[in-house]
Amino acid sequence: EPEVTQTPSHQVTQMGQEVILRCVPISNHLYFYWYRQILGQKVEFLVSFYNNEISEKSEIFDDQFSVERPDGSNFTLKIRSTKLEDSAMYFCASETGGGTYEQYFGPGTRLTVT
Amino acid sequence: AQRVTQPEKLLSVFKGAPVELKCNYSYSGSPELFWYVQYSRQRLQLLLRHISRESIKGFTADLNKGETSFHLKKPFAQEEDSAMYYCALADQAGTALIFGKGTTLSVSS
């Protein structure tokens, strides 16, 4: 069964550095999402992407964040200048479209900002 | 504002006991409601959604619009049900999921 994959599984970075988190969604899916979960808190929506553009974003997704689908398979989340409070688990998800509502999640990338 | 509330952080039951994981929501329209499960060291996966009205792994959930609730139930808990359970809502397909804080279900023998 196809799965969403994410790399790396764990990323440690220093405050102020740029990070890129990578996701490979399921191949025939049309909608792509990033969520994050700070330790001990709820899963929070960051951004959704459809038809090569952002379709929705939350208040968390400020100018420090950007997303890209550089080719037909990868979907990336970039944080330009990381802060301590960006430390969290970041989940990618994809959805087939056609009104199914079912989002398939990746295993997550744990980002630690020191 | 859209909100999902799961009042219990942890629910501990014995094997064979009934389970009810509570979920209440706040939403002005008619949302789609879901339960997601995360087993230890595994990814979030969809357990069930209210529009399909099906039972998965013995779990059911009924949407009560009057009480704005979507509680997850299972008549006889199994040890393999131990996991983190998240209630979530969506406005429509292709939009963000709004999650509750999650409830850890622990089933012991």
Q: What number of residues does chain B have?
A: 109
Burial A47-63 (b: 16+ CB within 10 A, else e): bbbbeeeeebbbebbee
Rounded Cα distance, A33 and B68, in Å: 26
* Residue of chain A whose Cα is closest to the Cα of B101: A42
CB contact under 8 A, A97 and B94: yes
> Which position has the higher pLDDT, A58 or B62?
A58
Tell me which of B63, B95, B98 to substitute to probe the interface with A (most A C-beta atoms closer than 10 Å).
B95
Q: How confident is the model at residue B52 (pLDDT cuts 50, 70, 90)?
A: confident
Burial B94-105 (b: 16+ CB within 10 A, else e): bbbbbbbbbbeb
Question: Which pLDDT value is given to residue B60?
Answer: 93
Q: How confident is the model at residue A102 (pLDDT cuts 50, 70, 90)?
A: confident
Q: Residues A45-60: pLDDT tens digits?
A: 999 999 899 999 999 9
Question: Which pLDDT value is given to residue A87?
Answer: 98
Tokens describing residue A81: 């200048």
Q: Which one, of A65, A47, A44, lies nearest residue A56 by Cα? A: A47
Q: Is the distance from CB of A12 to CB of A109 less than 8 angstroms?
A: no
Q: Residues B27-37: pLDDT tens digits?
A: 887 888 999 99
Q: What number of residues does chain A have?
A: 114
Fill in the DSSP letter of residue B96. -
Q: Which one, of A89, A114, A80, lies nearest residue A34 by Cα? A: A89
Q: How many CB pairs under 8 A join A and B?
A: 59
pLDDT at residue B93 greater than cutoff 80: no
